[in-house]
Structure 1
């Protein structure tokens, strides 16, 4: 602890000086020492410095993201146990054995395991990890979401017993610190968790596994804005470990690496549990009166009548997606953000999903004074109500962040569905991955357009991946799976090719568009974001910095322009995009420009290297 501007704050000791710097005349004493043992070593500090430089944040911000924030307490360490008793698959399929052999004998440091949903990638990952641990090495296993930890924890516990630890946001700060200390002591050989687990201080680290590599959750939206894949590559290079990645829908950046020969790829094409690719179809919502088409309702009725289960995917929380005036068409926006408020019937409030602001539904239009205010659009809450109305005798559950506030609630719902105690499960992208329900026959994508319509060059890629991933929840155990995808844009390539299972065709199609428009993976992007409560100051700061950059580099500069979400939590937002073919040169030039740019009163400047979200 040390005093800084009349406050006592925790800090990290990152080095010692034999003599004081020339420009410092007065020193303050360290008040106390929090940790008797250091939380990191020199290799960890080297990684922090690299992360700070790459993402253009301070060393303190990098360390804060990498280290646990809790304080030591007298309590038992977190027990990575779960009622989900997944059993180890004793016999591998021929496909899995071939993949396992290829990975074990390959000389490559980075390997990608590509396979359709249900092809047994996880079992191959765990067999490789087990071999590493048996010879004395350690493993980090990354998943993008906590929901996937539920899917894995039973199998991990049965294999590795007390050798495992977990790191993710569902742990309390003190639990994270406790797990960190266990890992640091050398008693842990297998760490699994979400994005930040990539920093786990493992002894003899030999392998990092990134499951569902394509998922955007691996990219941090707060400083340091790192991607776990980049950090994993750096750590593997730093200590001589191997990197094993996998997904049914690889990111386009990785696909291009494989295509160019820079990354070895191994494919799994069969489903060892006896399943087959589902029969899929598209419904044109322009010809329907509600979000539940006649074809989907008939299919749900038939499947439930046969004693099987249904999974419905809708990536919109709330009851109604819009609340607008029928006279003038004006919508009700958040007072802090430039986004519509979403009506939640369970709480009778209109909420902002960006800043959390909530208010009671209004009766009079604030724009024209009309009383003709009406809810339009579907969210998961309204879809659940409609399903309960149509099938009152069936057991229906909803899974989204409005329902799931604690990790055990998530695990409980998933377990009940997998055990057949829920007939219809409706949810957001939380249900798109890692769900293994033997009784599941029908998957319905209620509205495939929600991510496709976003003003982001990755919108088509994300839409394709979501449809493929959620479709892969059925047909895993029995060869009679069905998928119905509803859309207002049935002609869209991302939707058509996802439904038809044409992954290679879609990637080649999308790569052609990206190359023509000069977007990643054919360039690198730097996003410079300006935020402030005074719109004029934000505009002036962005224009001034753009002028500074245009005189110092030849790279393509886009903007400044208003962000797609122009205001969040009362802060106006504008951004610049730099498209670069020479990453190191552009990075150095931008870092220099930022360091010399005068501080702008009331304006925050943030840098995102290789952004995955341009909203």
Structure 2
């Protein structure tokens, strides 16, 4: 089989393809035609020797002539797939991602494809008999109008912008049904599928065996099985988190992005793509409809709606008969304890009325700040420049960035003082305080620490839905996608927890979180109440969210972003330089700044070099440059040129186009 050669790409930051011979066991007496050989091999994954190791490669092309040069062409060890996993469309999308997100095409293909070496059976998912929140029902006039617009001929992207509980999910499902009935496929994206049990059950109940689930609870081999169901046409609806945007549906008719504002749609590893941008590209390539939705759109999406490039479809009424809850803001300045008198009284009233409460705090652990009152010493992670969090249940101080832990201190290591203590609080501390105030309440905690065991989150939520729990306490896990008829009270324990981070999106995130969490209350009745505890009640993000003045918040935020030159008034491109050697990271950042200043066009600017707000993570020192311009096309050529330069060993550069966080 020496007549034909395979062109391989690898999941490495290398832009070139590499030439290999097919594996020995593929030798045949009569080699097929080049066309037949290409059809068989292009799009498959193989194991190939690369340097001193064996790695997975992607066959992107074949040829009948060897490359020029005096070198030995090595042979592929074996083939992983029985049939191609990707075709021309996937390769075109990977190539676009590589240029857009400053990565290699091999890295883009690796992000798109499932990782399994062989198929394995997918576990069955229970479908609840009654899904009160999202059972099919007759649509309201607003829902009908929205559905009609989505299925109309206007090819603009649509945005279902509605208050929490306004029935966005039902409109999405009807649109998906109509698309599938027309013989086309649908991709339905959710922020985190592990947090959307009710939605998944509703979809499985309505679409049965037409659904393929792509999520983190599946092994890579199980994901591969679901992937092949979609590629083969046995399933027409792909449901999953960020990476489901790559689902291999041949006749793609619609992409739905639920809770579009969520930061989890942005990848944290190369290529650092945003599922919304990839969805827009896929919709354009395939002629599919794109539908997004949220009660709190990202500021970028809101700006697109204002300028008309995305069509806004409004839902202003709660369909289950509930009304928006009454909101009470409690100023915690000068108060002691984690729970205010007002919140304690409301929790007691809810229990007496036979109703349930949700408490939200976006910080896990018992306390997050250890300090010496004598000399001011603060305990931070030995590998990261962040404070350690005390976890009382395990009796350890833990870093939430790298996982390093150590026993708590009783004596200051700097001055020997015994006057040491903890400040701040997390969900463990709130749990202890609730149990002290209400020993007769049935309480469950839902955070990363409490739901490590498989199935535990679903068990906690099932108990709450059945009324077996009085108070559900948690982090982001209780903030979205949950519909419980028994909930009359939501308490936001500390609304400021993300407000003062050094990031231009911190106000937007705080506003969205308060609005989303508050939306869990009173979805079916008129007795919903929200208590917001805060040390900064006058901040616009908190004041406007508590008063339901959504449009005013977006107007103010857009004005602020335009005045400061931040997105959507500009495009950003962030470069993070990290190394175990602080001087090397800083010097590399300065060299890059010097190069880019000579290459960037007028109208663009460089912010930095500067230390990242979190300067050290896992013993890596971090420095950053932030490039800013009106259009991304003003930045990409210069950074592409810099990316092709050689760098020293031990230095890593992260390229983040349109970053969602600057920490």
Please report the TM-score for the alignment, with normalisation by the length of structure 1.
0.98
Within the alignment, does 1:186 sit opposite 2:236 as a pair? no
SS in 2 for 1:11: strand
Output the CA distance in 2 between the equivalents of 1:499 and 1:578. 35
Q: How far did 1:99 drift?
A: 1.7
Within the alignment, does 1:374 sit opposite 2:421 as a pair? yes
Match of 2:104 among 36, 40, 58: 58
Show the 5 A alignment for 1:21-60.
21-23=67-69, 25-60=71-106
| Aligned residue in 2 for 1:574 | 623
SS in 2 for 1:559: strand
Output the CA distance in 2 between the equivalents of 1:47 and 1:378. 45
Relative to structure 1, the CA distance from residue 449 to residue 356 in structure 2 (aligned partners, 3 Å threshold; closer, same or farther) is same
Select between 60-69 and 510-519 the one with higher mean Cα deviation: 60-69
| Aligned residue in 2 for 1:609 | 657
The count of corresponding residues between Structure 1 and Structure 2 is 613
Match of 1:452 among 493, 496, 499: 499
CA contact (8 A) 1:538 1:574 kept: yes
Output the CA distance in 1 between the equivalents of 2:225 and 2:649. 41
| Aligned residue in 1 for 2:38 | none
| Aligned residue in 1 for 2:407 | 360
SS in 2 for 1:3: strand
CA contact (8 A) 1:81 1:153 kept: no
Match of 2:634 among 560, 585, 591: 585
Within the alignment, does 1:78 sit opposite 2:127 as a pair? no
| Aligned residue in 2 for 1:600 | 648
| Aligned residue in 2 for 1:8 | 54
Output the CA distance in 1 between the equivalents of 2:95 and 2:102. 10
CA contact (8 A) 1:165 1:190 kept: yes
Relative to structure 1, the CA distance from residue 302 to residue 26 in structure 2 (aligned partners, 3 Å threshold; closer, same or farther) is same
CA contact (8 A) 1:419 1:437 kept: no
Relative to structure 1, the CA distance from residue 199 to residue 106 in structure 2 (aligned partners, 3 Å threshold; closer, same or farther) is same
CA contact (8 A) 2:212 2:226 kept: yes
- Higher gyration radius (CA): 2
Output the CA distance in 2 between the equivalents of 1:420 and 1:42. 52
Match of 1:163 among 203, 210, 213: 210
Within the alignment, does 1:548 sit opposite 2:567 as a pair? no
Relative to structure 1, the CA distance from residue 188 to residue 110 in structure 2 (aligned partners, 3 Å threshold; closer, same or farther) is same
CA contact (8 A) 2:578 2:621 kept: yes
CA contact (8 A) 2:265 2:275 kept: yes
Q: How far did 1:269 drift?
A: 0.6
Show the 5 A alignment for 1:145-164.
145-164=192-211
CA contact (8 A) 1:84 1:415 kept: no
Q: How far did 1:86 drift?
A: 1.7
Output the CA distance in 2 between the equivalents of 1:406 and 1:189. 32
CA contact (8 A) 2:156 2:309 kept: no
Q: How far did 1:153 drift?
A: 1.7
Give the superposed CA RMSD.
1.3
CA contact (8 A) 1:558 1:578 kept: yes
CA contact (8 A) 2:127 2:205 kept: no
CA contact (8 A) 2:80 2:118 kept: no
Deviations 1:94-136 (A, max 9, x none): 2212222222235133100100000000000000100111111
Match of 1:396 among 430, 443, 456: 443
CA contact (8 A) 1:380 1:427 kept: yes
| Aligned residue in 2 for 1:386 | 433
Select between 146-155 and 312-321 the one with higher mean Cα deviation: 146-155
CA contact (8 A) 1:541 1:600 kept: no
Output the CA distance in 2 between the equivalents of 1:399 and 1:24. 61
Q: How far did 1:19 drift?
A: 2.8
Within the alignment, does 1:279 sit opposite 2:335 as a pair? no
Output the CA distance in 2 between the equivalents of 1:242 and 1:176. 25
Q: How far did 1:594 drift?
A: 2.0
Show the 5 A alignment for 1:313-324.
313-324=360-371
Output the CA distance in 1 between the equivalents of 2:592 and 2:490. 49
Output the CA distance in 2 between the equivalents of 1:109 and 1:496. 34
Q: How far did 1:23 drift?
A: 4.5
Output the CA distance in 2 between the equivalents of 1:89 and 1:497. 34
Output the CA distance in 1 between the equivalents of 2:531 and 2:615. 35
Deviations 1:45-89 (A, max 9, x none): 11111111111111221111111111214x433334344742522
Q: How far did 1:406 drift?
A: 4.5
Output the CA distance in 1 between the equivalents of 2:69 and 2:369. 58
Select between 447-456 and 5-14 the one with higher mean Cα deviation: 5-14
Show the 5 A alignment for 1:97-108.
97-108=144-155
CA contact (8 A) 1:147 1:434 kept: no
Output the CA distance in 1 between the equivalents of 2:401 and 2:217. 21
| Aligned residue in 2 for 1:421 | 468
5+ unaligned residues in a row in structure 1: which ranges? none
Output the CA distance in 1 between the equivalents of 2:454 and 2:200. 13
CA contact (8 A) 2:162 2:295 kept: yes
Output the CA distance in 1 between the equivalents of 2:60 and 2:308. 40
Q: How far did 1:551 drift?
A: 1.4
CA contact (8 A) 2:359 2:493 kept: yes
Relative to structure 1, the CA distance from residue 106 to residue 420 in structure 2 (aligned partners, 3 Å threshold; closer, same or farther) is farther
Deviations 1:401-422 (A, max 9, x none): 1111245211111122122111
CA contact (8 A) 1:109 1:241 kept: no
Select between 420-429 and 582-591 the one with higher mean Cα deviation: 582-591
Output the CA distance in 1 between the equivalents of 2:526 and 2:235. 40
